[in-house]
């Protein structure tokens, strides 16, 4: 693991999720930019102290030489390090599971694409919400045509934690996110807008062709956007609305997707993730529950517990890691294309960074832009 030092948010989540199914174990890391803090994190994770490295280059060099070397690298650092760490890992021969956004800029993701294609090593991207059973169910419902042609999509992703300028007082997660040099140019759009965009395409199977976005920095003196609204034209002619904000006071992680077809619609909310609501033009409302025996094979395959035992964020993350473990096994046994289409990878990386870049450009021009 690179990142995930003391006080980090997502590194420890990756550790728990990766280990949930007993197929992956955290054994080494460069957890912080400080050697001392990396060592402290190694103690926290209870790994061999010799494998809590001072920096990621030292880690890759040392691990390459071990008989029991790491099998892959998880990248959980601030965004500006995603490309250099991925590149160094690939050059050392290790597959990469990266957190989003794939890179800090669009130009960087094009480099990443080239590097992955040259390295011919697996690359995964942890768009967490793709791991929820009912997101898989929603995706299969859209693909089945049950809803009819999708004509409208609405995705909201509302958080309130950046309602005040907490980056000025050094709040760890806010400080680098508000610094374009460490984060990239897209603030809210890059942090959570990219999740909303991915979820929209992942569930509906539709693709953006054009968009018009307005990005605002609502909090005075904030250096990146903290609120964004985008209209997105989809490749079947439907329109989507993406409303994302980190200054929506009182909101926690208010991600909600609605997709409306000719015959019916679906709604999924991350804060109530074990229920999928379906409403029909000519029929009664339906609620599907996670772990229902009636769910699609794809949804049941990623459910661990019987009905009434709620699964959530950690389990969804673990679904991606379980699929990733399968990818590594298939890759090691010589499979040509080991990445299942349910697991976000390079295509999601490039499209997500393209979305951020296009949204910034549209907001600057105050006009529609082609995707
Ligand atoms: N998938 C999700 O739902 C999700 C959720 C939160 C964050 N993220 C992503 O995860 C990444 C990390 O976010 P976070 O909130 O955990 O940030 P964080 O600030 O809490 O943690 C970042 C960690 O990286 C370490 N780090 C910084 N420079 C380093 C270096 N040179 N070498 C090794 N470690 C270094 C820091 O010391 C820290 O421990 C971001 O890219 C973010 O977008 C994804």
| CB of residue 15 inside a 6 A radius of ligand 1 | no
Give me the pLDDT at residue 338, please: 87
| CB of residue 99 inside a 6 A radius of ligand 1 | yes
The Cα 341–Cα 326 span in angstroms is 13
> Any residues with CB less than 8 A from the CB of 8 and at least 6 apart, and which?
31, 76, 172
Query: What is the distance of C-alpha 96 from the center of its chain?
Result: 14
Q: Nearest residue CA, atom 18 of ligand 1? A: 8
Nearest atom in ligand 1 to the alpha carbon of residue 191 is: 43
Is the pTM higher than 0.75? The answer reads yes
User: CB–CB of 245/228 below 8 Å?
Assistant: yes
- CATH number for 2-128+323-343 (one of 3.90.226.30, 3.40.50.150, 3.40.50.720, 3.40.50.12280): it is 3.40.50.720
| CB of residue 273 inside a 6 A radius of ligand 1 | no
User: CB–CB of 151/123 below 8 Å?
Assistant: no
Residue whose token pair is 């995705």 = 155
Cβ atoms within 10 Å, residue 262: 12
User: CB–CB of 241/231 below 8 Å?
Assistant: yes
> Any residues with CB less than 8 A from the CB of 48 and at least 6 apart, and which?
27, 28, 42
Nearest atom in ligand 1 to the alpha carbon of residue 32 is: 34
Give me the pLDDT at residue 95, please: 98
Give me the pLDDT at residue 198, please: 98
| CB of residue 2 inside a 6 A radius of ligand 1 | yes
Q: Token digits for 85? A: 């760490």
* Ranges for all domains in the chain classified under CATH 3.40.50.720: 2-128+323-343
Cβ atoms within 10 Å, residue 24: 22
Distance between Cα 202 and ligand 1 center (Å) = 24
CB-based burial label for 137 (10 Å; 0-12, 13-18, 19+): buried
Give me the pLDDT at residue 137, please: 98
User: CB–CB of 156/243 below 8 Å?
Assistant: yes
User: What spatial distance separates the first Cα and last Cα of the chain, rounded to whole Å?
Assistant: 33
Per-residue H/E/C for the chain? CEECCCCCCHHHHHHHHHHCCCCCCCCCEECCCCHHHHHHHHHHCCCCHHHECCCHHHHHHHHHCCCCCCCCEEEECCHHHHHHHHHHHHHCCCCEEECCCCCCCHHHHHHHHHHHHHHCCCEEECCHHHHCHHHHHHHHHHHHCCCCCEEEEEEEEECCCCCCCHHHHCCHHHHHHCCHHHHCCCCHHHHHHHHHHHHHHHHHCCCEEEEEEEEECCCCCCCCCCEEEEEEEECCCCEEEEEEECCCCCCCCEEEEEEEECCEEEEEECCCCCEEEEEECCCCCEEEECCCCCCCHHHHCCCCCCCCCCCCHHHHHHHHHHHHHHHHHHHHCCCCCCCCCCCCCHHHHHHHHHHHHHHHHHHHHCCCEEC
- Block mean pLDDT (10 aa), the chain, length 371: 98 98 98 98 98 98 98 98 98 98 98 97 98 98 98 99 97 98 98 98 98 98 98 98 98 98 98 98 98 96 95 98 98 91 98 98 98 98
CATH homologous superfamily for the domain 133-303+350-370? Dihydrodipicolinate Reductase; domain 2 (3.30.360.10)
* Ranges for all domains in the chain classified under CATH 3.30.360.10: 133-303+350-370
Distance between Cα 94 and ligand 1 center (Å) = 20
Distance between Cα 200 and ligand 1 center (Å) = 24
Give me the pLDDT at residue 5, please: 98
Distance between Cα 174 and ligand 1 center (Å) = 11
Cβ atoms within 10 Å, residue 127: 25
Give me the pLDDT at residue 337, please: 82
Give me the pLDDT at residue 336, please: 81
């Amino acid at each position: 693991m690179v990142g995930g030092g003391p006080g980090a948010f997502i590194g420890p989540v990756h550790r728990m999720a990766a280990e949930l199914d007993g197929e992956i174990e955290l054994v080494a890391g460069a957890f912080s930019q400080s050697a001392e803090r990396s060592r402290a994190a190694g103690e926290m994770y209870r790994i061999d102290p010799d494998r809590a490295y001072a920096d990621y280059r030292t880690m890759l060099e040392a691990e390459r030489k071990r008989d029991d070397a790491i099998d892959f690298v998880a990248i959980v650092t601030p965004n500006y390090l995603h490309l250099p760490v991925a590149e160094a890992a690939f050059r050392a021969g290790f597959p990469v599971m990266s957190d989003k956004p794939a890179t800090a800029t669009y130009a960087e993701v094009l480099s990443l694409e080239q590097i992955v294609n040259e390295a011919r090593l697996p690359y995964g991207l942890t768009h967490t919400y793709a791991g929820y059973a009912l997101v898989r169910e929603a995706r299969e419902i859209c693909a089945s045509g049950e809803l009819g042609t999708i004509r409208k999509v609405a995705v909201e992703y509302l958080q309130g934690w950046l309602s005040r300028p907490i980056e000025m007082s050094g709040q760890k997660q806010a400080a680098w996110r508000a610094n374009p040099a460490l984060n990239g140019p897209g603030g809210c759009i890059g942090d959570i807008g990219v999740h909303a965009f991915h979820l929209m395409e992942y569930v509906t199977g539709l693709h953006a062709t054009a968009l018009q976005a307005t990005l605002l920095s609502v909090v005075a003196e904030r250096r990146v956007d903290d609120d964004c609204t985008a209209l997105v034209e989809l490749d079947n002619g439907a329109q989507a609305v993406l409303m994302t904000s980190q200054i929506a006071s009182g909101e926690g992680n208010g991600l909600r997707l609605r997709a409306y077809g000719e015959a019916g619609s679906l709604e999924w909310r991350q804060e109530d993730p074990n229920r999928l609501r379906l409403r029909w033009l000519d029929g009664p409302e339906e609620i599907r529950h996670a772990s229902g025996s009636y769910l699609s094979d794809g949804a049941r395959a990623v459910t661990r517990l019987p009905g009434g035992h709620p699964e959530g964020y950690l389990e969804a993350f673990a679904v991606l890691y379980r699929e990733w473990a399968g990818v590594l096994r298939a890759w090691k046994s010589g499979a040509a294309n080991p990445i299942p289409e349910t697991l976000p990878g390079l295509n999601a990386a490039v499209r997500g960074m393209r979305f951020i870049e296009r949204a910034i450009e549209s907001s600057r021009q105050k006009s529609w832009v082609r995707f």
